[in-house]
Amino acid sequence: MRDLKRWAVALEVAALFALWELAISGLKLANPSFVPPPSAIWTAFTGMLADGSLPEHAWFSTQNAVAGFLLAVVVGVPCGLALGSSRLVSDVAGPPFWTAYAMPRIAFQPLLVLWLGFGAAPKILIIFLMAVFPIAINTMDGIRGVDPSLVRAARVYGAGRIQVFLKVQLWAALPLILTGIRMGVARAMVGIVVGEFIGGSQGLGYLIFRRSADFDLASALALTLLLVVIANVLMALVSLARRIAAPWYAEGVS
Amino acid sequence: MTARTAPAKPLRVRPSGTARRPWKYRTPLIALADLVVFVALWHVAVVELELVNRVFFPSPGDVAGSLATLISSGELAGHLGTSARSWLIGYGLGAAAGVVTGLATGSLPWANRLLMPLLWSLWATPLIALQPTLTAWLDYGDGPIVVLVFLSTMIPVALNTATGAAQTSPSLIRAARVFGAGRMAVYLKIRLPWAVPYVIGGLRLAVPTSMIGLLVGEMVGSPSGVGSIIVNATARFRTGEAFAAIGVYVVLSVVLVRLLDLAERRAGGWRNHA
């Protein structure tokens, strides 16, 4: 059933692209240099692969993304654990955390460039800032939502605090931690792109910006679609991890 | 609470409903204290200890001064007006389109199969990557911004509304049918009200995403709007002004999320009695 659904989606996307191609190349509904058809986008894509510009810029973005995101997980999960398991920590550190979570952190990007220059540092930092709060907040929710009877059962069998934490709470909270990581991936993608839009000279976001400014919209759309594919593959991988780690957990909007 | 008791001590298990209720004003007071301590530390670090160059990192006083200038010169009002207009148009149209799409997707099996995967994949996508292309299509200015806000509002609202509409209690729909409700009446009187809390949840999810769309649009390709203040002020090393503009966005986002939280709580209540 699930395979069938996947095929249906693939067919649907293929149909959309076919219609798009037909509307531009066949019926000439719009200027193809203004609204490039899928065939032109594909040519632009392979062209960028062949001349090495795509691999080079993609490598820059990937390095920053991995660094920023790993940092966000390493910092976000323990912060969430602390916020979720201690009343004191959540009372004192909670309000600033929620404020930071609700605020558009992307607004700091021009200042980050001013402080850290035009290199990789402000990009890594904005990716970190975008991803860390959803990870921490979801981890906190996860720890708070652990069924107290599970904790009590572990205590009855003589588990200490640390054991309860490592063997019960962490596992029970895992699906929400992974939900946070999934949200973090989506936000990190925004961070990658904006970081390179503002004060960048390398990376996929910069390349999109550059090519659009040159009115090479086929290349710009090829790169945008590439980001769509990357984002969906990454999110699907995290969802898969969640399904394996917590098959009982129902999927929601996250 | 049980998590804190050591295993050696006897278990303290409160009967349900008797949990110690914290003092009513505890949370807001701690938040206020947080704010005061934060501003004080910031002031001491920048002004007294001079840990950073004030040109690059303003003190709280500098930010307040810049904010006052921005307000009194009327600059902020002008930019805020532009931002508010773009945001309201994009968010309003996005919410309307999202509710309609969501209701259709949630209640018609074929629409569900056709649209849900696309909506999910768009939700995963950094839509702001479209900004340069939109600018090429629609020129600099408000156009691309409104489109970005529209897209980043419509998708979460549609996804949430669809979830709500799909979960409408079937017995309510059957009851309405028994009383002679037609297709349209079932939509308007049963599915839509049932989905209202979900719609509000989607609107709440859309606040940060639409703010990101607005900001990116204004920072990257627009001469006006609060986002453009941030970029222009930073370029002229007027960091106090940039901080003040960011502060405006922080307050707006937090207030909007809070308002929708409140609305969510109000709107959700009746379903438990239905």
CA distance A54 to chain B (A): 16
Same domain, residue pair B121 and B256: yes
Q: Determine the structural domain holding residue B51 and report its residue range.
A: 25-57
- Please answer yes or no on whether A228 and B125 come within 8 Å at the CB atom: yes
CA distance B182 to chain A (A): 31
Helix, strand or coil, per DSSP, at residue A79? helix
Q: Which residues of B touch A253 (CB under 8 A)?
A: 123, 156, 159-160, 163, 201-202, 205
Instruction: Indicate the residue of A92, A110, A212 with minimum beta-carbon distance to B30.
Output: A92
Residue B229 CA to residue B269 CA, distance in Å, equals: 42
The neighbour count for residue B264, using CB atoms within 10 Å, is 17
In terms of Cα–Cα distance, which of B129, B127, B128, B135 is closest to B221?
Answer: B135
Considering the domain boundaries, does residue B119 fall inside one?
yes
φ, ψ (nearest 5 deg) of residue B74: 80, 0
- Please answer yes or no on whether B124 and A235 come within 8 Å at the CB atom: yes
Instruction: Indicate the residue of A104, A164, A220 with minimum beta-carbon distance to B215.
Output: A104
Instruction: Indicate the residue of A96, A107, A213 with minimum beta-carbon distance to B230.
Output: A107
Same domain, residue pair B50 and B156: no
Q: Which residues of A touch B91 (CB under 8 A)?
A: none
pLDDT per residue as tens digits for the range B214-223: 999 998 878 8
- Please answer yes or no on whether A107 and B117 come within 8 Å at the CB atom: no
Return the beta strands (E) in A99-160 as ranges.
Answer: none
Count, residues in chain A: 254
Same domain, residue pair B38 and B144: no
CATH no. for residue B103? 1.10.3720.10
Instruction: Indicate the residue of A115, A205, A228 with minimum beta-carbon distance to B56.
Output: A115
- Please answer yes or no on whether B126 and A190 come within 8 Å at the CB atom: yes
Same domain, residue pair B243 and B112: yes
Considering the domain boundaries, does residue B225 fall inside one?
yes
CA nearest to A115 within chain B: B56
Last residue of a domain, one of B57, B75, B105: B57
pLDDT per residue as tens digits for the range A27-79: 877 787 788 888 889 999 999 999 988 899 999 999 999 999 999 999 999 99
Which stretches of chain A score pLDDT less than 70?
1-6, 248-254
CA distance A188 to chain B (A): 9
Residue A190 CA to residue A98 CA, distance in Å, equals: 20
Residue B199 CA to residue B124 CA, distance in Å, equals: 19
Choose from A206-215, B149-158, B265-274 the range with maximum mean pLDDT.
B149-158
Same domain, residue pair B81 and B154: yes
Same domain, residue pair B44 and B100: no
Decide if the complex's ipTM is over 0.85. no
What is residue A2's predicted lDDT score, i.e. its pLDDT? 53
What is residue A144's predicted lDDT score, i.e. its pLDDT? 86
Last residue of a domain, one of B5, B35, B57: B57
In terms of Cα–Cα distance, which of B231, B198, B233, B194 is closest to B215?
Answer: B231
Same domain, residue pair B174 and B215: yes
What is residue B53's predicted lDDT score, i.e. its pLDDT? 82
CA nearest to A188 within chain B: B126
CB A78 within 8 A of CB A180: no
Same domain, residue pair B183 and B264: yes
What is residue B273's predicted lDDT score, i.e. its pLDDT? 45
Same domain, residue pair B124 and B38: no
Find the angle CA(B144)-CA(B154)-CA(A73) to the nearest 5 degrees.
90
Same domain, residue pair B38 and B91: no
Q: Which residues of A touch B219 (CB under 8 A)?
A: 106-107, 109-110, 194, 197-198
CB B199 within 8 A of CB B161: yes
Which percentage of chain B shows pLDDT scores above 90? 23
DSSP annotation of B179 reads T
pLDDT per residue as tens digits for the range B26-69: 777 888 888 899 889 988 888 888 888 888 889 898 899 999 99
In terms of Cα–Cα distance, which of B202, B124, B216 is closest to B165?
Answer: B202
First to last CA, chain A: 24
Instruction: Indicate the residue of A115, A213, A232 with minimum beta-carbon distance to B124.
Output: A232
- Please answer yes or no on whether A212 and B129 come within 8 Å at the CB atom: no
Residue A49 CA to residue A57 CA, distance in Å, equals: 11
Mean pLDDT of B83-98: 94
Same domain, residue pair B35 and B167: no
- H/E run at residue A209: helix A204-213
Considering the domain boundaries, does residue B2 fall inside one?
no
The neighbour count for residue B60, using CB atoms within 10 Å, is 17
What is residue B5's predicted lDDT score, i.e. its pLDDT? 40
Instruction: Indicate the residue of B2, B156, B212 with minimum beta-carbon distance to A151.
Output: B2
Count of structural domains within chain B: 2
CA nearest to A215 within chain B: B136
- Please answer yes or no on whether A151 and B208 come within 8 Å at the CB atom: no
Q: What's the pLDDT band for B274 if we cut at 50, 70, 90? A: very low
- Please answer yes or no on whether A253 and B163 come within 8 Å at the CB atom: yes
Considering the domain boundaries, does residue B18 fall inside one?
no
CB B45 within 8 A of CB B51: yes
Predicted confidence (pLDDT) at residue B6 exceeds the cutoff of 50: no
CA distance A199 to chain B (A): 10
What is residue A251's predicted lDDT score, i.e. its pLDDT? 55
First to last CA, chain B: 33
pLDDT per residue as tens digits for the range B170-183: 888 888 888 888 87
Same domain, residue pair B43 and B80: no
Considering the domain boundaries, does residue B259 fall inside one?
yes
Q: Which residues of A touch B35 (CB under 8 A)?
A: 95
C-alpha neighbours within 13 Å on the C-beta side of residue A14 = 6
Instruction: Indicate the residue of B121, B220, B231 with minimum beta-carbon distance to A232.
Output: B121
Taking domain A40-245, whether its CATH number is 1.10.3720.10 is answered by yes
CA distance A189 to chain B (A): 6
Predicted confidence (pLDDT) at residue B3 exceeds the cutoff of 60: no
Residue B235 CA to residue A229 CA, distance in Å, equals: 34
The two structure tokens encoding residue B100: 């309609």
- Please answer yes or no on whether A103 and B250 come within 8 Å at the CB atom: yes
- Please answer yes or no on whether A12 and B117 come within 8 Å at the CB atom: yes
pLDDT per residue as tens digits for the range B210-264: 999 999 999 887 888 888 899 988 888 888 999 999 999 888 888 888 888 888 7
